Structure 1
Amino acid sequence: MTRSRRVLLLNAALGLLVAWFAWVGAHVVWQDRETGRAPYGGPRYGGPGGGGGPGRRGDEVLWVSDVSWLAVPFLLLLAAGVALRWRWPRAAFVACAVGVGGFFGVTSFFGPVLVALALTVYPMAVTLPLRRWVGLLGLLVPVVLAAHVGETYLGALDPLLYAELVMAVAFAVLPVLVALLRRGRREAVHREREEDRRRTAYEERLRIAREVHDVVGHSLSVVTMQAGVALHVLDKQRAAGEPVSPEVSASLEAIRRSSRDALAELRTTLGMFREPAGEPRAPTAGLDRLDDLVGALRAAGRRIDVVRTPEDLGELPAAVDQAAFRIVQEALTNVVRHAGEARATVRVLRRPDALVVEVADDGPGAPRLEEGNGIRGMRERAASLGGRVDVGPGAGGGLVLHAELPVVAAAQVMPT
């Protein structure tokens, strides 16, 4: 048996128990020995008119009233409300209020039936926002007035009416207070845990930033230094009249420039981890750096064509601009690593609803494409903006990477 079914059965049993107590209580009322009247006026607490016959128990008299069987449907209705209070809280409270009000109208009896109202108010206070159920508490007024249907002005001249109304409201407010206190405590614990989680995540980000800076930053610094030393040696050889290959000089210059730019970008990116919340961030790489990226690769001897019209791209959201540049950067890196001396073509096209990026090469391609971290990273970047990345063989050979980044959907996305 599932947990929801067990809860339903337990609440159904609880609702029937409350209904049974209410039915029994409407039949039995203790009678005062000296006055011969039922306490608190008799008719209200012993059924309509306080009819029935007396019976004796020791020195006290037991009053047995005649209660109409019309009360039974109302008791079953309030029992159903108690049974379904966790599944449909608001509907259960309304059903219970109608059942209690109808029972009061038939029997004019106050007693354990009020417990049903408290039982159905509590789930609303626990599971729903206050604004969605607080207005339903206004049903308590007609519920109490139903017990005074046969009186003048619905008992408005009877001071007991107001005491009963206060009692009914107290029955309803008490579980609300308990629920609100529990909810407040639960939310406070949740906020505390969330703060701990954010603090732990921030500390972990700082640790990763330090590790990346120490490892990658050191390596890039060494590469830059070694390239600078090699260029210095070539300059000395050129000054001494020794033959120097211009391709070697251009390659070393490209290595030094690329490593220096990468080191500067790494420091800028890692610096974001240390910025307090709300502080302005440094500008991130975008398509405005595409020419620098392609120029560095061309200086290293790579053949790369770029097809784009900057004025047609228009104003791009920062997240799309950054993601497009990173996708092109990773795709060209894959061409350099896996496509040999192949020629690459970069196409950037702006459509009304999306930015299309395509990187194709005329290399040998691969019979079986194995996606590594680079392609997965590109897919994740595109997916975070609601876009997609497809990688497959080109019509004339080689590989083609096709990415579509929605512009409208990403307009509200901040770069990460």
Structure 2
Amino acid sequence: MTRSRRVLLLNAALGLGIAWFCWVGAHVPWARSDGDRSTYDGPRNREPGDGRGPFDRGDDAFQAVAVSWVAVPFLLLLAAGVALRWRWPRAAFVACAVGVGGFFGVTTFFGPVLLALALTVYPMAATLPVRRWVGLLALLVPVVLAAHHGEAYLGALDPILYAELVMAVAFAVLPALLALLRRGRREAVLRDREEDRRRTAYEERLRIAREVHDVVGHSLSVVTMQAGVALHVLDKQRAAGTPVSPEVSESLEAIRRSSRDALAELRTTLGMFREPAGESRAPTAGLDRLDDLVGALRAAGRRIEVVRPPDPGPPLPAAVDQAAFRIVQEGLTNVVRHAGEARATVRILRERGALVVEVSDDGPGAPRLEEGNGIRGMRERAASLGGTVTLGAGAHGGFVLRADLPLVDLDHPVTA
């Protein structure tokens, strides 16, 4: 049996128990046969038959009250409200208020029945915002007035009416206050946990940023410096009349430019890690830098072809633009590392509401089917956007990397 069913059965039993108790309690002789509401205040030298106690056996003693069967439907409605109080809190409270008011209308005021109202107020205060249920507490007034429907001005001249109103409000407000206090404490604990999680994540980002800066940043700085030194030596040799291959100068210049750009981008990315909220307004790399990426590889002697549609179409969402560039960058890196002198082709097109990024080559593809961190990173980037990455051998040999990225932006939808 599921937990929700157990809770429903327990509350149903509780509601029926309260209804039975109210039915039995309504038959207790709370009033004398002449209608006087005098209450029993102890024996204190009273003689039997003086008519002032519930256990008196005199002619004017307290008599058992005959309760009409009309009260039964109201008691069942009360029980239903208690049973369903966690599933439909507001409807359960209204049903319980109608049941209690109807019970008062056909019997008389019976304080313990207000326990049912208290039980239905608590779930409202525990699960709903205050503005959605506080107005329903106004039903307490007609509920109490129902017990005085036979009196002049609905019992407005009877001081007991106001005592009963105070009792009804107390029965309803105290559980609500307890529920609000408990919910406030629970929300405070959740806020503290979330703050601790954010602080821990921020500290971890700072640690990663320091490590990456110390390792990668230092290495890129050394590469840039060494490339600059080599170019300076080549310039001196060229000035001295020593023949120098132009390919060497172009390769060294490409190395220096690429390492310098990578270092600048690394600093920008690490700056995002240092933001407390994990966000930064600094521009990120997108497909607008594709020409620079391809140009650097071409300068190093690589044969790379870029295929794009003549009409670029609407601007890409920022997340898709960045992911597409990173996937192309990783795909070309894999070509350089694994495909030897193979020729690479980059295709970027839109089809069926998605941006398709494809990097292929004509080199050997089988040895690269094993996935490493780079391919896992591409899959994660695509999956975060609801896209996919597929890899495999091409139709005419080589290796093909394809990413399908949905063109969906919550603020500005883009269609192909």
Q: What TM-score range do you get, normalising by the shorter chain?
A: 0.7 to 0.9
Aligned runs of 1:16-415 on 2, under 5 Å?
A: 16-30=16-30, 37-39=36-38, 56=55, 62-152=62-152, 154-155=154-155, 158=158, 160-275=160-275, 281-308=281-308, 312-350=312-350, 353-366=353-366, 369-409=369-409, 411=411
Task: From the superposition, tell whether residues 283 and 84 of structure 1 become closer, same or farther in structure 2 (CA, over 3 Å).
Answer: same
CA distance in structure 2 between the partners assigned to 1:77 and 1:279 by the alignment = 54
Residue range with higher mean Cα deviation, 298-307 or 399-408 = 399-408
How many aligned positions are there? Answer: 400
Following superposition, the deviation at residue 241 of structure 1 comes to 4.4
Render the CA deviation track for 1:150-169: whole Å, top value 9, x for unaligned. Answer: 34554455554444334323
TM-score normalised according to structure 2 size: 0.84
* Contact persistence 1:317–1:411 (CA under 8 A): no
**2:13 equivalent in structure 1:** 13
The alpha carbon displacement at 1:114 in A equals 0.6
SS at match of 1:24: helix
Q: Give, in whole Å, the separation in 2 of the partners of 1:374 and 1:39.
A: 88
In structure 2, how many angstroms separate the alpha carbons of the residues matched to 1:266 and 1:182?
47
Indicate conservation of the 8 Å contact 2:272/2:279, yes or no. Answer: no
Deviates more, 1:124-133 or 1:272-281: 272-281
Give 1:175 deviation, angstroms. Answer: 1.4
Q: Mean alpha-carbon deviation: is it higher for 282-291 or for 311-320?
A: 311-320
CA shift, 1:368, in A, is 7.6
Whether the 8 Å CA contact 1:357–1:404 is kept in 2: the answer is: yes
Structure 2, unpaired ranges of 5+: 40-52
Between stretches 298-307 and 172-181, larger displacement belongs to 172-181
CA spacing shift, 1:322–1:231, aligned 2, 3 Å: same
Structure 1 contact 30–61 (Cα < 8 Å) conserved? no
- For residue 214 of structure 2, what is the amino acid of its counterpart? D
CA distance in 2, matches of 1:226, 1:55: 107
Task: Give the counterpart letter for 1:204 in structure 2.
Answer: E
Distance between the aligned counterparts of 1:404 and 1:411, measured in 2?
21
Secondary structure of 1:112's aligned partner: helix
CA distance, structure 2, for counterparts of residue 409 and residue 239 of structure 1? 56
Query: Distance between the aligned counterparts of 2:14 and 2:352, measured in 1?
Result: 61
What CA deviation, in whole Å up to 9, does each residue of 1:282-327 have, x standing for no partner?
A: 2211222111100111111111011225762443332222222111
Q: 1:183 and 1:197 mapped to 2: Cα distance?
A: 21
The alpha-carbon deviation at position 123 of structure 1 amounts to 0.6
Q: Report SS of the residue matched to 1:297.
A: helix
Write the letter of the residue equivalent to 1:121. V
Please name the residue that 1:51 is paired with: none
Aligned CA-pair RMSD = 3.2
- Change in CA separation of 1:376 and 1:58 when aligned onto 2, cut-off 3 Å: farther
Distance 1:216 1:256, change over 3 A: same
Is this contact kept in 2: 1:319–1:410, CA < 8 A?
A: no
Report the residue type matching 1:216 in the other structure. Answer: V
Q: Secondary structure at the match of 1:37?
A: coil
- One-letter identity of the residue aligned with 2:225: M
Identity of aligned residues (%): 83
SS at 2:111 equivalent:
coil
Against the structure 1 CA distance between its residues 144 and 305, is the aligned structure 2 distance closer, same or farther, given a 3 Å change threshold?
same
Q: Is the 8 A contact 1:312 1:350 kept in 2?
A: no
Consecutive unaligned residues of structure 1, counting only runs of 5 or more, are 41-53
Secondary structure of the corresponding residue to residue 312 of structure 1: coil
Which deviations, in whole Å up to 9, do the C-alpha atoms of 1:334-367 show, x marking residues without a partner?
A: 1112222211111222468443322222222127
